[in-house]
Structures are given as C-alpha cells and as structure tokens.
Copies of this chain bind each other. A is one copy, B any other.
Amino acid sequence: MSAYSELMDKMKEIDLIEQIGGLLSWDQEVMMPPNASTLRAEQLAWLSSSGHLKMTDLRIGELLMELENNEKLNEVQSGNLRLIRKSYDKATKLPTKFVIEMAKHRSKSMVTWTEARAKNDFSIFRDDLKKMIDLVRQEADYLGYEELRYDALLDNYESGLTVSRLDPLFTNLRESVAPLIKSVMDSGKRPIMEWVERSTWIQQGQEFLSQKVSESIGFNFDAGRRDASTHPFCGGPNPDDVRWTTRYSATEPFGSLYGSMHETGHGLYEQGRPRALDFQPAGKANGLGIHESQSRLWENQIGRSLAFCEWSLPLWAESFPDNMIDVTPEDLWRSVNLIEPSLIRVEADEATYNLHIMIRYEIEKMLISGDIEVDDLPKVWNNMYEEFLGVIPPNDTLGVLQDVHWSMGAFGYFPTYTLGNLYSAQLLTTARKDLGDLESQIKEGDFLPLLDWMRENIHSRGSILEPALLIEEATGSPPSSDEFIDYLKNKIKDLYEI
C-alpha cells in the first residue's frame, strides 16, 4: 500500500513543522525577551506558510482519491484518511488571499482589543470586530455547512459539532443549573474564607505544591516541564516534550494549584497519546472538548472533591507551614468550592461557569446568523448576564471586552469549554463503575487506576474516532449533560445541605 505510506510521509513532515511551531509558541510565552517579538512572528509565519504549502499539495488530493474507496482499510487508516481529507479540504477551500487577510486582521484586532479593554472603550475595538465578524462569516461560507453557518465554525474546534447537537445539551444544562445556583444564593450560606485571606502565600510553597500534585497524579517530568506565564497553558512540541505553565498570586493559593491541575490534565492527555501513531493525524489528541474533559476532570471532579482535599492537606501543610494551622480537610474543600455568580468567566466556579459559556454561545449564534450586529453587542451582553446570572457588568472591560477569543476570530470555540465539563462527568461516571471505590483510592493518593482508565479509554484512542463517537465508545452513551447535572446536584447538596 505505497500510496498510504507516501501520504504518511507527507503527514510526518507537516507534523514536524507543527512540533517546531509548538516549541516556538511556548518559548514566546515563557522565555522570549521582549524585543524578539517581531522576528518571532516572522519565524512563525514562515513555519505556518510552509505547513500550509505542504497541506495544499495537490498530490495529497490524488492520494486521498486513490485510497478513500479502498475497503481493506483498518480503523486507524480510516481515521487518518478522514482527518487528512478534512484538513486538506479546509486548507484548499480557503483562498490564500483570504488566509493572509485573516491573519493580518487577527494581529490588528488583537491590538485594538487589548487597547479597548485597557481603556474600557468598546468603540476602539468596534470597527475591527465588525470586520472580524464579516471575515468569520466568509470563512464559514468557504468551508460550507448543511444547516447553519455557525455549524461550520463549531466544527473547527470539535469535529462534527452542530447547533442541533449542542442546543439540547445546553438547554437541559441551563434548566437544571440555574435553579441550583439560585437555591445556593437563597440559602445565604458561604464558606469561611478567613484562613485564606489572613495569610500571605509564598511562591515557593505554591511551586512545591503544584509540582508534588502534578507528579502525584501522573505527569512525567522526564517528558515535560512546569513553568510560569501570564496566561497558564499547556503546549510544547510532542508527547515527549509537554510543557505546562501556571501563575502565582501572593493573596490566594488556589489559582496556581487548580491551574496546575487543569494544565496537568491537558498534559497527561498529551503524554498518553498512542506512540505507535507518532506523526499521524489519528495519533493526535482529539478535539478541544475531549481535551478540556481531561483538564476539568483533574481540576474539578478530582481536585475539588473532599477525598482529594483529605489526601492533599498534608502537602498543603508542608508547602505552607504557617498558614494551615487549624485548617481541616473540610475547610479546604468548602473554600475551593465557593459558588457565587460573578462577572468574569475565567474566575467563575464550576456551577456558574457554564452559564458564562452559554451566554457567549447564544450571542455567537446570533452574530454569525446576522440576527444581531456588532453595535448591539454591549447591550445584549449585559442583558444576558442579568438574565442568566443575575449580575450586571458595570463596564465593558468587565463585560463584553473580557475575552480574547473574538479578536482572534475564534468564534465557535467557547462551547468546547462546557463540553469538556459534560464529558468529564460522563467519563468519570463510567470510570467509577469500573474502578470500584474511587474515593478511597483518591484519599490514599492512588491516582494511577483512574489515569490508566483514561489512558486506555481516551488517551490511547487518539483521534481515531470523531469525538462524539469516542465518548459513546468509552461510556456507552452519546454525549449528555445528565451526568454533569447529577454531579453538581450532589455536590451542592453535600456542600450547602440543600
């Protein structure tokens, strides 16, 4: 099957280019001196155009045609062909002129967004956002869709995702979560945060705790690194070189720890990829929803459980000898699970977080379809925050200007955050059945059985299947919001006795 080998050789070269780009991007955020940004952009642009040139090679189209009707393909080969077809079509459908225009406008509008946010002045960003929305609509039209234009954008971040799949999940979620949050607010109960607020949290202790927890849940530091950066992320070139970051605050210790667990979750997924499929599309991590399920699993489902707080308290005490006197596992557990409607998505708790996402999802649907236009945005945003969360942004910096995504043209991205939450609950529900007494394992710091379950059912499966099918294979059911709703109900019952 020499056509297949030829195709895989081409994929290897494209993958190596992406690996190199991964390292350069990591370096840009973590190591690069400030003056280097202009030439770094040139290096990245060269890599990107080299990769694009190789992905649009007409020979790939010929090889795909030759192979696609072959009936002897195994599961991995079929997966590879499906993924290559998708990338090839995407790369060839967008005219080069359009790709360059989009890249330039992205750089420009990220600058005006930064300025608008800093100056709390939506009008600075308005024209560039309007043009970005036009470009994104064009992009969707180039890519094509069956039902809705927005579907073409959703598919960019989670293959096969459509509004008709998402709407039922999100409606169900909102109808269940909104009353839960209301009942917490009505109860008037709030965890005691005094032990957090009274202390200074030294960075050395936060680093020690992050490192120990990341190692304990299974991250291999011979095949990765931990660093600090303004915006935590997980990147790096390949499964042997996975690099995650966190950030430290002297006034509270949760951001660094739970940021570390979140990024470690992404990192564990990358380190668990099927190595026999190195350089092949089917060997890569699946869409953003599945990726987010792995980060949310460790950050929230595990990291914010009572059992985890029981296991980790001695590590907390070792990290911050003066700060943890008289703090019980239950104090810790309650403090890391404060539920409270707020204005800023990235600071939101597990329960309210998804409402922030749903607001963005509803707005994006309307923006892409043309039901609303850019000038409607601030008002629509504020109204929806009042309706969904009962809070009204006092200004646009704390409102519609808070996220970078739209300035980058990343419409369709936000829903994958909530999908990650849903998938993580669904996966953990199945894993619990297989693993026996998971709570005891966590209490004893025995995280390996759970990691192994994810390795076997998710990580090692790469992108062989479409994400929704992978969830169905791993859990026996298509994606659903029921397990997450149950999880949240139980947690709120335990926390607030309601």
Contact = CB atoms under 8 A, between A and B. Distances in A.
Contact of A20 (B34, B43, B225, B240): B43
A36 interface: yes
Main secondary structure of the interface of A (DSSP, over half): helix
A31 interface: yes
A13 B46 contact: yes
A329 B238 CA distance: 52
Copies in the complex: 2
A376 interface: no
Given A23-B24, A24-B20, A27-B23, A36 B237 contact: yes
A174 B13 CA distance: 52
Given A43-B16, A46-B16, A35 B237 contact: no
Contact of A35 (B27, B31, B33, B223): B223
B39 A240 contact: yes
A70 interface: no
A175 interface: no
Given A38-B240, A39-B237, A224 B19 contact: no
Contact of A32 (B17, B31, B241): B241
29 contacts: A16-B42, A16-B46, A19-B39, A19-B43, A20-B20, A20-B46, A20-B47, A23-B24, A23-B27, A23-B43, A27-B27, A31-B31, A32-B241, A33-B221, A33-B222, A33-B240, A33-B241, A34-B222, A35-B220, A35-B222, A35-B223, A35-B240, A35-B241, A36-B223, A36-B241, A38-B240, A39-B238, A40-B237, A43-B237
Given A23-B24, A33-B240, A36-B237, 20 more contacts: A13-B46, A16-B42, A16-B46, A19-B43, A20-B24, A20-B46, A23-B43, A31-B31, A33-B222, A33-B223, A33-B224, A33-B241, A35-B220, A35-B222, A35-B223, A36-B223, A36-B240, A39-B240, A39-B241, A40-B237
